[in-house]
């Protein structure tokens, strides 16, 4: 009974943690949507509304330039923020203090930015610009602390890969809803709280109250993350080295596939962010119906969640590259329909939705390709730069957002959409200028991104599988030292090591497996097993030395220098981690008998793949290896199958 109560409490804690983290993602992305997309609407339309139009436009231009410059400067600060978080050590954990503190401070400052700062915007414009710049950069830095800390929590909350996947899925759903629902509620709420409807654009009071509500939600959900989630302390998460901008530039130059996907995505994210940022302007100043924007926001919220869950289905059937081409084509088609929709709400919604639907899919294709470029770079450069590689994508998003903010200011000033403008005051000439900025520039950027992808991005599922196979063949012979290309081989120690079977099942002679690399002995001497159980148990005490994003294999180094590769199934790299759970991190020490992995055998067989588990000593030349059991024998994880003795 006590055990059942304890398990029930544990499950309740896990569910509470997932929910709190998902709500944190909701508040986090609602904040980001308000800041990155809709704050400029307030700046251009409501912050400067004097009778001097030239002054208003000039001040809007100054504020826009400050925002763009500060957001680009903040990119240089990001690595320092990551390192500061890595060096944090408090009773509440490494990340939660920054999630909570950064969330609260940035929320308060964002709400302050939706005000004229006590009238300084007109009474003392220069002082206003100085104070605005100070508040904005402090807000942006603390938001970055919150952002980096929040998304870094996933591996800290659990060492179970299966649980990590669930946490990440909950977070993706929360962030998608949070980011899109702002578009659904913004104008109805702004107008509800406004005293002056101002042709459907609202007033200062309405915008401030709405911003304060979003800021409060962001702060409260950040506090919820701090209260209801738990960081697992481990030496595995201790920072080993600093992330530096020069290191990021170095791997971009050296890793041609990472550079290619980064350049392609840079044009994509800039074009997408730019057109998305203009959508509310279109509804407000061209359709003259800002409330109708809620329809688009509602559709985007639903479609965004569906797209997140649909991605694995489509990518598994047609491949990432074909999926990318199809999604990009739909996106361009949607932008073109939107561009020629005029004042037809039906065509506007059709074009805008076709433009939005592919965006989560393109994002995931890019994310998976960047992830695969980790192994590509590892094979090409001789060392693994996982954290540096994965840090590039958010930098590109931030840069694209910074550029988009600057272009929005130029477009609205040129089109006459500043200083209390309404749909009735915008001229036909202004509309045409606005459409050039809203459609021609983003479409051109997206097409450039497509061209770069077609010509330069060669890394796909098949090539990645080949790369992983090559890494499997070479990892046991070479190790990097101090993240350099110089290699060192661990020195085998004297003595006899008894190696148990890592999985239960029936022994198979290695030369009879349906993989030439293993059967020929290229991967080292050892044995194979037809599994009857999906648990992989450590056959000795040692350290995890090789991990793969596809989780189908693990490279181990025993305490006395034996390099052992455990490879589950043949060609299972194609499953991309589906059906596999790992309970370790790279460089983690383990004891004999610890569970290292689990795999779901039906998933392997359903994919038409061989589930044979291969176990080889990759540095066999240094040892005398003796098999103690014969092919056909039944074994468990406690049975000694092989003796390894230093020559």
Query: What is the set of active-site residues?
Result: 567
Using DSSP's 3-state secondary structure scheme, residue 300 falls into: helix
Name the β-bridge partners of 527: 615
**Which residues make Cβ contacts (< 8 Å) with residue 644, sequence separation at least 6?**
496, 497, 499, 562, 617, 623, 624, 625, 626
Using DSSP's 3-state secondary structure scheme, residue 267 falls into: helix
Place of tokens 């960047």: 370
Task: List helix spans (H) across 382-438.
Answer: 386-390, 392-415, 428-435
**Which residues make Cβ contacts (< 8 Å) with residue 522, sequence separation at least 6?**
473, 516
Quote the tokens at residue 244.
């530096």
One-character DSSP codes across 353-391: HHHHTHHHHHHHHHHHHHHHHHHHHHHHHSS--HHHHHT
For every residue of 3-17, which 3-state class applies, written as one string? Answer: HHHHHHHHHHHHHHH
Using DSSP's 3-state secondary structure scheme, residue 431 falls into: helix
- Let me know: does 94 contact 85? Beta carbons within 8 Å: yes
| Element of type H or E holding 55 | helix 53-86
Give CA angle at 489 (485, 495), nearest 5°.
Answer: 170
Say how far apart CA 493 and CA 487 lie, in whole Å: 19
Place of tokens 């999630």: 99
Quote the tokens at residue 372.
């695969």
């Amino acid at each position: 009974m006590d055990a059942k109560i304890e398990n029930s409490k544990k499950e309740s804690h896990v569910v509470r943690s997932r929910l709190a983290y998902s709500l944190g993602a909701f508040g986090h992305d609602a904040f980001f949507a308000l800041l990155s997309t809709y704050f400029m609407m307030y700046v251009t339309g409501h912050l400067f509304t004097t009778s001097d139009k030239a002054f208003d436009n000039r001040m809007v231009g100054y504020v826009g330039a400050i925002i763009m410059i500060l957001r680009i400067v903040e990119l240089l600060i990001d690595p320092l923020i990551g390192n500061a978080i890595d060096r944090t050590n408090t009773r509440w954990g490494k990340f939660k203090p920054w999630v909570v503190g950064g969330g609260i401070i940035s929320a308060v400052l964002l709400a302050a930015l939706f005000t004229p700062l006590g009238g300084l915007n007109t009474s003392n414009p220069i002082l206003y610009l100085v104070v605005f710049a100070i508040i904005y950069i402090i807000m942006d830095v603390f938001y970055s602390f919150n952002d980096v800390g929040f998304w870094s929590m996933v591996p800290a909350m659990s060492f179970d890969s299966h649980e990590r996947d669930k946490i990440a899925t909950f977070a993706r759903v929360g962030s998608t809803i949070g980011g899109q629902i702002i578009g659904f509620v913004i104008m109805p709420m702004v107008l509800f709280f406004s005293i002056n409807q101002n042709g459907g654009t609202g007033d200062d009071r309405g915008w401030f109250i709405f911003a304060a509500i979003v800021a409060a939600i962001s702060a409260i959900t950040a506090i919820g993350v701090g209260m209801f989630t738990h960081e697992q302390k481990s030496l595995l998460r201790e920072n080993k080295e600093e992330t530096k901008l020069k290191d990021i530039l170095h791997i971009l130059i050296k890793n041609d596939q990472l550079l290619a996907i980064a350049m392609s995505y840079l044009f994509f994210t800039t074009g997408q962010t730019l057109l998305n940022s203009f959508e509310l302007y279109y509804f407000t100043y061209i359709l003259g119906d800002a409330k109708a924007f809620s329809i688009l926001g509602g559709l985007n919220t639903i479609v965004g969640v569906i797209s997140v869950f649909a991605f694995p289905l489509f990518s598994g059937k047609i491949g990432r590259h074909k999926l990318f081409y199809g999604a990009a084509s739909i996106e361009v088609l949607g932008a073109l329909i939107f561009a020629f929709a005029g004042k037809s709400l039906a065509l506007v919604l059709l074009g805008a939705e076709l433009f939005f639907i592919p965006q989560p899919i393109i994002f995931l294709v890019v994310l998976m390709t960047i992830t695969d470029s980790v192994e590509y770079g590892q094979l090409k450069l001789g060392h693994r730069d996982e954290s540096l590689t994965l840090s590039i994508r958010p930098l590109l998003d931030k840069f694209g957002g910074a550029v988009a903010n600057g272009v929005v200011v130029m477009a609205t000033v040129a089109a006459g959409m500043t200083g209390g403008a309404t749909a009735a005051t915008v001229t036909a000439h202004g509309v045409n200028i606005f459409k050039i900025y809203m459609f021609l520039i983003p479409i051109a950027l997206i097409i450039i991104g497509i061209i770069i992808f077609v010509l330069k991005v060669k890394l796909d599922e098949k090539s990645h599988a080949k790369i992983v196979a090559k890494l499997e063949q070479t990892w046991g012979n070479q190790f990097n030292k101090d993240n350099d290309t110089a290699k060192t081989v661990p020195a085998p120690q004297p003595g006899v090591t008894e190696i148990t079977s890592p999985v239960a099942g029936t022994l198979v002679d290695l030369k009879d497996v349906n993989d030439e690399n293993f059967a020929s002995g290229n991967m080292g001497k050892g044995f194979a097993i037809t599994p009857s159980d999906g648990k992989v148990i450590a056959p000795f005490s040692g350290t995890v030395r090789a991990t793969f994003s596809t989780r189908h294999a693990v490279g181990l180094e025993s305490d006395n220098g034996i390099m052992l590769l455990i490879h589950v199934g043949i060609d299972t790299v194609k499953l991309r981690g589906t059906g596999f759970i790992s309970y370790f991190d790279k460089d983690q020490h383990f004891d004999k008998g610890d569970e290292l992995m689990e795999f779901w055998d039906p998933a392997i067989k359903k994919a038409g793949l061989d589930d044979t588990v291969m176990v080889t000593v990759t540095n066999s030349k240094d040892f005398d290896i003796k098999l103690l059991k014969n092919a056909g024998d039944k074994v468990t994880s406690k049975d000694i199958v092989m003796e390894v003795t230093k020559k």
